[in-house]
Amino acid sequence: MLAVDDARLAPLRRQAAALTVVWECTCGCATVNLEVDRSRSSAVPGLCSPVTESVSRVRDGDEFSELILFLEDGWLSSLEIVWYSKPIPEFPPIDGFEPATLRC
C-alpha cells in the first residue's frame, strides 16, 4: 500500500516499520487499526485520508474487494478491506491486488 512512487510516502514507510495492530474488526473481515510508535517516526502533514487504495485483480462474484489505507493527523491509522458479498477474514496475498494508487 505504500509502494506508490511518490516521495511524500517515504515518512509513512518509516511509520510502517514502527507500527502495531491495536484492533481487529469484529464483523468477520480483516480490517485493522494501527498505532505508530511516535518516538520512532514523525507525522506526515498535508496528505489526505484515505491516502492509498487498491482493488482486487479478480472482480467476479465473492472475490471483489478493495484495500484502503487511512491516516489520522498524519499517522497511519487503519488498513481496511472492503468486501461486497461476504467478509474476508484475512488479507489476501498482495499479488491478488492491483498496484496501490495515491488518493491525493
| pTM confidence score | 0.91
- Asked if 1 and 55 count as a contact pair (C-beta separation under 8 A), the reply is no
CA distances to 27, 90, 102 from 11, rounded to whole Å, are 31, 27, 15
pLDDT of residue 85: 77
Q: Which of 2-16, 18-32, 52-66, 89-103 has the weakest average pLDDT?
A: 52-66
Give the whole-angstrom CA distance, residue 59 versus residue 78: 24
Cα separation of the two ends of the chain: 14
For 21-80, write each residue's pLDDT tens digit: 999 999 888 999 999 999 999 999 999 999 999 998 876 565 678 999 999 999 999 999
